[in-house]
Structure 1
Amino acid sequence: MENKDTNTQGLGRSFGAWLDDLRAFLRGRFSLDDDKAQRDEVVAAISKGVEFRGVNLWVLIFATMIASLGLNVNSAAVIIGAMLVSPIMGPIMGVGLSLGINDFELLKKSLRNLALMFIVAIITSTLYFLVSPLSSNSSELLARTVPTTYDVLIALFGGLAGIVAQTRTDRTSTVIPGVAIATALIPPLCTAGFGLATGQMRFFLGAFYLFFINSVFIALATYAMVRFLKYEKKAFIDKTRERNVKRLMMVITLVTFIPSVVIGFHMVRVSLFEAVADKYVTQVFAFPHTRVIECNKHYARGKNPSQIELLLIGEPLGQEVIENARTQMRNFGLEKTELIVRQANTEDKIDVASLQQSYTDLLSEKNRRIEEMSSQLKRYRVTNVEVNDISREVGTMMDNIAAISLMKGITFDVGGTPRDTTLVCVVTPQDSLRPIDRTTLERWLRVRTKVDNVKLFVER
C-alpha cells in the first residue's frame, strides 16, 4: 500500500512539473515582453501620427482622391493602393490609447484631428463625385454601405494587430499597412461623399455607419491592448482635476463603446438569422420545376417579427406545400419568423419589367468586368516563342551550341508598372572551352524574335 501511495504521489508531482513546464513554455511563446518599446516612446509615436497638418493632410487628400477613383472605376487594386497611402489610422489609435492611459489632452487632440480628417475626406470625395462623369453604383461602392459582423471582427482584430505592432521597438514591419488594408477606413468615407454628391442619403448614412463601427472597434482594441500591457496611467498633481478627468473619460468611454458593442451583438444576431434563413430556403424550397429567384430576409424590429420573403417562378406550389414549408421552420429555429411566398400566377403582381431591368444591369456590370479583365490579360499576355524552329536554325548557324532555352516575359519596375518585353536565352555549349559569338547571337535573336531586349546567358 505504501508503494502504491508513493507511486501516486510521484505521478502527481511529475504531472505538476509537466504542467509548470507547459505554462512556462506557453508564457514564453506568447509573451509580448520581447522587443517591447517603452511606454513614453509608444505614446510619442502614436501622438505624432495623430496630428493632421502639412504632409499628413495632403496625403489624406491624395488618398481620398485615389480611393474615389478606384470606387468610380470599380477597381479593387486602386482602392487597396489608397488604403496603403492613407494615414487615417493615427487619430483612431490615439483615441484608444488616450482612454487607456487617462490622457485627456491626447484624447482632445485625437478627436479634433479625427473630426478634421473626416471633414476633409468627405469634402474631397464629394467634390470629386460632383465633377466626375461616372455616377453609376458600382459593386465596390455598394459593398461600402452595409456593415456586417465580419467588418466588426476585422476592425477588432485589425486594431489589436495595429497596437501590438506600435508597441514594438521595430515599427518597420508590414503590420500597419496590412491593418490599413484589412480595416478599409478610407473607402467608406469616399462612398459617403458619393452619397452626398448624388443626393443618395442611404449611401451616406450606410457608409458613415460602416466607418463609425470600424473606428470604434479599432479604438476599443487599442484600449484593451493598452490595459493588457498595463501601461501606467497619467498622474495629475491636482487630485480634484484628476477625479473630474477620470469621470469625464469614463463617460466618454461608456457613451462610445457600449452602444457600439450592442450594435455589434445585434449585427451578429442578424448575420446568424440570415445564415439560418438561407439554409432553410436552400433545403426546403428545392423543387425540380420551381425556382427561388429572390429571397429577402428582414430581422425582427420592435414588435414586428422576422420575415423571409420569397419570390418564386416556375410551376406554382400548392397551399398545402407552402404550409408544410412553414411547419418545417421550427426545425431550423425559425418558429417565430413569418414566411411570405409570392408566385407569378397568384394575386401578387410581379413587376417583370423592373425585375428584367435589374438582371440586365447585373449582366451589364458582369460583362464590363469581364471586358476589363480581358483587356488586362491582353496587356500582360506574351506570345510563345518558336523554340523548335529557332533551336534548329541556331544549330545550323553556330556549331558549338548543344542546347538552347528561350523564355519571353515582361519586365516590371519596382512600382509594379510593366516596362518592356524581355527575351531570356540560356545556351549550353558543346565545348565550354570554345567561345560563342555572343554579339552575333544576340543580334540574330533580336531580328528573329522581334524583341529588342535580349538577355543571353551561356552555361559553363
Structure 2
Amino acid sequence: MNLIDNFKLNREKENFRDVIESIYNGVEFKGTNLWVLVFAIFIASLGLNVNSPAVVIGAMLISPLMGPIMGLGLGMAINDLTLLKKAGYNYLFAAGVGLLTSTIYFAISPINDAHSEILARTSPNIYDVLIAFFGGLAGILATSSKLKGNVIPGVAIATALMPPLCTAGYGLATWQLDYFLGAFYLFLINTVFIALATLITARLLKFPFKVHPDDKEKGRVNKIVWSIALITLLPSIYFGYDIVQKNNFQKKANQFIENEAVFPNNFLLQKNINPISKEITLTYGGLQIKDSAVNVLKLKLNKYYLQNSKLIIQQGFSYLNENKSNTKQENLLTSTLNDKAIEIEKLNKTLDSIYKQKELSRQVYKEIKAQYATIESFVLQPSTLINDSIQKNIWISNLKSKEKINPKEQKQMKEWLKVRLATDEIIMNFEN
C-alpha cells in the first residue's frame, strides 16, 4: 500500500447530508442546548472563581458553543445563507447570554481575586490562533468522519471557548477593561479560526454547494473571510512576539544572576525580574557592597545582551560603613548567622548519627555472621520504649536465618549483643 493512501479520507467520509444535518442541529440554542449553555457558563465561572482547572475543563466539555461556530464556517463553505444567518444569530445570542450570565455571577460573587485560571485567558497571542485553527480542523474532520472517536471532547478542551467568555464577564463585573478586552479577544480568535478551519476543510472535502456562487460572489466572500482572519491574526502575532521577547529577557536575566551576580560575604535574599520595564532588582544580605563592585557588575550586562536593562542592587542586612558598624544591624546579622550556625550544627550531628548507626549495623552484622554462618540478614535500630509509667531508650534487632536457631543459641546471641552494644534493653526477633 502506498504511504500516501494512509492520509486519504475518502473511505471514512460520512454522508455529506448527515454531516450538514448534524451541524444544523448543533447550531440552535433552545430547549436542552440553551439550558446546557447556561449550566456550562455557571460551571466555568465557578471554576474560574475558585481557580479549579478540573471544573473549568468540565465546563469546556459540556459547552455547546462549538455548534454555531462550525455552522458559520460550513455556511460560508457551501454558500448556505440560511445556515449562515441561523448560525450567526445563535452565536451572538449564545455569546450575549454567556457574557451577561458570567457578569452577573461575578458581580454577586464574594470572591473577586484574579487567579491563574482567569489570568491565563487575558493575554491571547499567535499560539492561541494556532490552537484554535488546528482544533477547528480536528473538529470538522471528526464531524465529517464515520470514526468520530473522542476528538470532539478534545477539541472542546483545546479551543476553550467558554472560559474566555466568562473571563470577559469577570472583567466587566470588576470594571477591569484590560481583562475584558483580552479575554473577549481570545474568544473572537477561537471563533474566527475554528470557523475558518471549518470553511477550508469543507471546501477541501468538496461539500456540495447549496447555491453555487458565481466567480464574482465567490471572490467577494473570500476577501471578506480572509480580511476578518487577517484583522484577528495581526494583534495576536504582536502579542506572541512580545511573549517570546519577555521569555528571552527572563532567561538571559536568570543566567546573568546565576553566573555573575555573586558578591563575597553576601547572599542573595530576593530577585525580581521585570521584562516589561526591563529591570532586574537584586536584594542581598551581608556586608555593604561597594559602588565599584556594583558598577563592574553592570558592565557585565552587555555579555548577556542586557545592555538596555536597569540593574538595581538593594541590601537587607548590611553594614552602612565597614569602619563604623551600626550596632543594631550588627547584632541582628550576628544573631541571624548564629541561628543558622546552630541549625547547621544540629543537621551535621544528625547526619553523623545516621552514618555511625549504619557503620555500627554493618560491623555487628559481620561479627555475628562470623559466629553463625546461616544468618541471611540483620536489622539493628535504636528506638524508644514508652508505656504508662516509663519511657526509655532500647535497641530493636531483627535477624533472619536460613536454618532454625534453637532457643539456647537465641539467648546466647541476645546476651552477646547486649554486651556488644553496652545496653541492658534489647528486643530481638528471629525469622527462619
Q: After TM superposition, is the score higher than 0.5?
A: yes
- Tell me how far 1:120 sits from its aligned partner: 0.3
CA distance in 2, matches of 1:41, 1:79: 31
CA distance in 2, matches of 1:213, 1:101: 22
2:78 to 101, 117, 123: 101
Question: Match of 1:294, as an amino acid?
Answer: N
Change (3 A) 1:249 1:52: farther
Question: Match of 1:206, as an amino acid?
Answer: G
- Tell me how far 1:65 sits from its aligned partner: 0.8
- Tell me how far 1:113 sits from its aligned partner: 1.4
Flag as ranges the 4+ runs of structure 1 deviating above 6 A.
none
2:107 is aligned with 1:137: no
Helix, strand or coil: the match of 1:285? helix
Question: Match of 2:197, as an amino acid?
Answer: A
- Tell me how far 1:66 sits from its aligned partner: 1.0
CA distance in 2, matches of 1:292, 1:253: 51
Answer yes or no: is the 8 Å Cα contact 1:154–1:182 preserved in 2: yes
Residue matched to 1:326: 302
2:156 to 151, 158, 180: 180
CA distance in 1, matches of 2:279, 2:198: 41
Q: Which segment drifts farther, 83-92 or 31-40?
A: 31-40
- Tell me how far 1:233 sits from its aligned partner: 3.4
2:197 is aligned with 1:221: yes
Residue matched to 2:208: 232
Question: Match of 2:167, as an amino acid?
Answer: T
- Tell me how far 1:86 sits from its aligned partner: 0.6
CA distance in 2, matches of 1:28, 1:254: 31
Helix, strand or coil: the match of 2:10? coil
1:49 to 26, 41, 56: 26
CA distance in 2, matches of 1:97, 1:185: 18
1:246 to 218, 223, 227: 218
- Tell me how far 1:247 sits from its aligned partner: 4.5
1:285 to 224, 240, 257: 257
How many correspondences in the alignment?
A: 304
1:314 to 274, 279, 284: 284
CA distance in 1, matches of 2:39, 2:217: 37
TM-score by length of 2: 0.65
Matches within 5 A, 1:363-378: none
CA distance in 2, matches of 1:309, 1:96: 46
1:198 to 170, 174, 178: 174
Matches within 5 A, 1:20-419: 24-171=1-148, 173-236=149-212, 242=214, 245-286=217-258, 287-288=261-262, 289-290=267-268, 293-298=271-276, 308-314=278-284, 318-329=294-305, 338-344=308-314
- Tell me how far 1:139 sits from its aligned partner: 2.0
Change (3 A) 1:200 1:261: closer
Kindly report the root-mean-square deviation, in angstroms, between the aligned alpha carbons of the 2 structures: 2.5
Unmatched tracts of structure 1, length 5 or more: 1-23, 299-306, 346-460
CA distance in 1, matches of 2:239, 2:9: 32
Change (3 A) 1:314 1:272: same
- Tell me how far 1:69 sits from its aligned partner: 1.2
Answer yes or no: is the 8 Å Cα contact 2:121–2:163 preserved in 1: yes
CA distance in 1, matches of 2:92, 2:222: 21
- Tell me how far 1:149 sits from its aligned partner: 4.0
Change (3 A) 1:248 1:115: farther
Change (3 A) 1:323 1:103: farther
Q: Which segment drifts farther, 197-206 or 144-153?
A: 144-153
Question: Match of 1:256, as an amino acid?
Answer: I
Change (3 A) 1:246 1:104: farther
CA distance in 1, matches of 2:109, 2:170: 10
Answer yes or no: is the 8 Å Cα contact 1:104–1:249 preserved in 2: no
CA distance in 1, matches of 2:216, 2:88: 19
Unmatched tracts of structure 2, length 5 or more: 316-432
Q: Deviations over 1:247-273 (max 9, x none)?
A: 542232022111233234334422332
TM-score by length of 1: 0.61
Change (3 A) 1:141 1:135: same
Give identity over the alignment, percent: 44
Helix, strand or coil: the match of 1:338? coil
